[in-house]
Amino acid sequence: MDGEIPLPPPRRIRHRSPAHATSHAGTGSGSVASSFHKSRRLSRFDDRSSQPSSEPPLFSSDDIPASGVENYHAPVSTGAGRKRRYRGTWWGEQVIDPKRKRADFKEKRHVDSGVWMGSDESAAESFLSSEDGSAWGEDLLKTALNLRATAKSAAAPASLPAQSKTAFKRPEEPAEHRLARTVVADCLEKGQDSIDLGNLHLRTIPSGLLQPLQHLTKLPTVGEAPVSENVFTSLQPFLRIFLPNNSLSLLHHELFELADLKVLSVRNNKLTEISPTIRRLTALQVLNVSVNRLSYLPWELLWLVQQGELKHLTARPNSFLAIEEAQIAAWSHRSESKSDKPSQDPLQFREYEGSPPAEAWAPIHIATGPTKWLNMEGNPTSDNLSPSTIKTPAESSGATSAPSFREIALRAVSKLPYLEHVSDAELAEYPAMVVPLLRQAREVRIAGGQPCSVCGQEYVIPRTEWLEWWDCSPCENGMKGPRSSGEKLRPLPFRRFGCSVHCVLGS
């Protein structure tokens, strides 16, 4: 820098034989540590630390008595009140010339201290704004190219920031997604727990749209001076999401991560299937899936009705498979056979009038469709529809109740860390035969596991599939009341999966 620092007293030369040094290095870490301690202790005396590793530090003199906090605003007398500044080590201190130019200090401020402060605007700007970024890139290039004034170096800094700009630029989002995001952000801001995303022409739910709603908190309503009792309400949100009149064909998995969701409406969309992942919405109370293209509901929804909170399910109209047209393997509740099967007659509820039993509210199992056996890759086996295989499990093809080796490997794959972040392009690098299997494992992982509806075992590839018809009319008419006697049962189809060939109903 500016002044020469006076050198410390000359260092004493310590003689150490190389053999001694290597023996130290060769022994264990304990001896290394002890030798380190020794050298530290010695350093006091032979001034090892005398060589300043960085530029000499800057000190100021002790506080002048009148500079305390008490008289902070007191005018500082320029002469005697000013602190003295020293530069350099304690043995060779130098009084700094008080008449140094202000510009020098300014320059000094820009030296990187290695500590980034929130208020440090200069650093933040250089990272964020593109003008500074280009200047920074230019600087870097200049040093790298050693100031070669070629035409190349003049062109390169211009292209570098342009490249980085395009790399960080996100693809333009459709207008409806942006609108949906503003609606969600507005609800989060105001603490509204009713999110209305209807009539937005959404084809898909963009990722990251619904995730922040997990942390939605209601704002306390601060009223006028006379505080009444009803001011004290719960701040727990009663989360409601309305997505009617859109063009959704698939529900995003983020929707099923909202464990607090109470009301969900996807009325008038283009849904063809509802994912079994809906079982994760354990707090769901009202669900409207009417006016869609569903031919069946997931069996997990029935579980939500039976075990969960779901009280109001609006499923009709939909293109449900009619029970009259469907193939039925077993009837468990036949409304037509009143006379010959009185024990299974729906009219039995007449006897329980006055105190309705749980069954008057609960869904009633009407019928079960034929079981479809799926092969080890989850595709229907060829001899599916022949009546002989419907009765007997696929023993002939060597299937056992133990999971297949593919399934075991896939279960291990689905537990791999970071599987959900693997993109399709990365998956394509694997041999073509396992790519669909890996994709399936990734979907299961994203859905947060997939327990078998019969045995509860986590699985990846279903091996059995069948439809069940259940009557949920007390749920459907919106808690109007229990089944009245003689009421016509209106069963809904539910699709159910099993994880092994033995996971079928009645096993």
Partner 1 sequence: MAQSTQSEYVTLVSCDGFEFIIPRSAACISGTIRRMLDPSSNFSEAVTGRCVLNDMTCVIDREWIRTTRSGVLVTRFTDVGSFAFFSAVVLEKVCEYFCYNEKHKDQANVPDMDVPAELCLELLMAADYLDT
Q: Which two tokens stand for residue 154?
A: 């003049």
Answer whether 88's CB lies under 8 Å from 56's CB.
yes
Residues 445 and 414 sit within 8 Å (Cβ to Cβ): yes
Q: Judged by CB under 8 A, does residue 403 bind partner 1?
A: yes
Token pair 């064909």 in the structure block, residue: 249
Question: In whole angstroms, how close is the CB of 495 to partner 1 at the nearest point?
Answer: 23
* Secondary structure letter of residue 17 according to DSSP: -
* Residue spans of alpha helices (H) in 336-434: 358-361, 387-391, 405-414, 424-427
Residue 381 touches partner 1, criterion: CB under 8 A = no
- Compute the least distance from the CB of residue 126 to partner 1, in Å: 43
124-133: long-range contacts, CB 8 A cutoff, minimum separation 24: 130/161, 130/165, 133/161, 133/164
Give the interface segment with partner 1, choosing from 13-21, 73-81, 258-266, 499-507 (CB under 8 A): 499-507
Instruction: Give the residue from 268, 286, 253 showing the smallest Cα distance to 201.
Output: 268
Determine, following the binding rule CB under 8 A, whether residue 114 of this chain makes contact with partner 1.
no
Residue from 305, 410, 447, 492 binding partner 1 (CB under 8 A): 410
Tokens in use for 112?
A: 């990187």
Query: Using the rule CB under 8 A, which residue among 24, 406, 439, 490 binds partner 1?
Result: 406
- Residue with Cβ nearer partner 1 (263 or 399): 399
Give the residue with the Cβ less far from partner 1, 213 or 410. Answer: 410
What whole-number distance in Å separates Cα of residue 303 and Cα of residue 310? 9
Binding mask 430-449 toward partner 1 (x if CB under 8 A, else -) reads xxxxx--xx-----------
Residue 457 binding partner 1, by CB under 8 A: yes
Nearest to 209 by CA among 233, 160, 174: 174
Q: Which is nearer to partner 1, 43 or 396 (CB)?
A: 396
Q: Please identify which residue in 75, 387, 398, 506 interacts with partner 1, judged by CB under 8 A.
A: 398
Q: In the 8-state DSSP scheme, what is residue 380?
A: B
Single residue of 330, 416, 428, 479 touching partner 1 by CB under 8 A: 416
Distance, in Å, from the CA atom of 264 to the CA atom of 256, rounded to the nearest integer, reads 11
Please choose, out of 64-72, 378-386, 426-434, 465-473, the segment that lies near partner 1 by the rule CB under 8 A. 426-434
Least distance between partner 1 and beta carbon 399 (Å): 10
Contacting range for partner 1; rule: CB under 8 A; set: 29-37, 104-112, 202-210, 404-412: 404-412
Interface with partner 1 (CB under 8 A), residue from 409, 422, 427, 446? 409
Residue selected from 285, 468, 500, 504 as contacting partner 1 according to rule CB under 8 A: 500
Output the DSSP codes for 65-132.
GGGSSTTTTSPPPTTTSSPPEEES-GGG-EE--TT--HHHHHHHHTS--S---TT-HHHHHHHHSHHH
Interface ranges with partner 1 (CB under 8 A): 376, 398, 400-406, 408-413, 415-416, 430-434, 437-438, 455, 457, 500, 502, 507
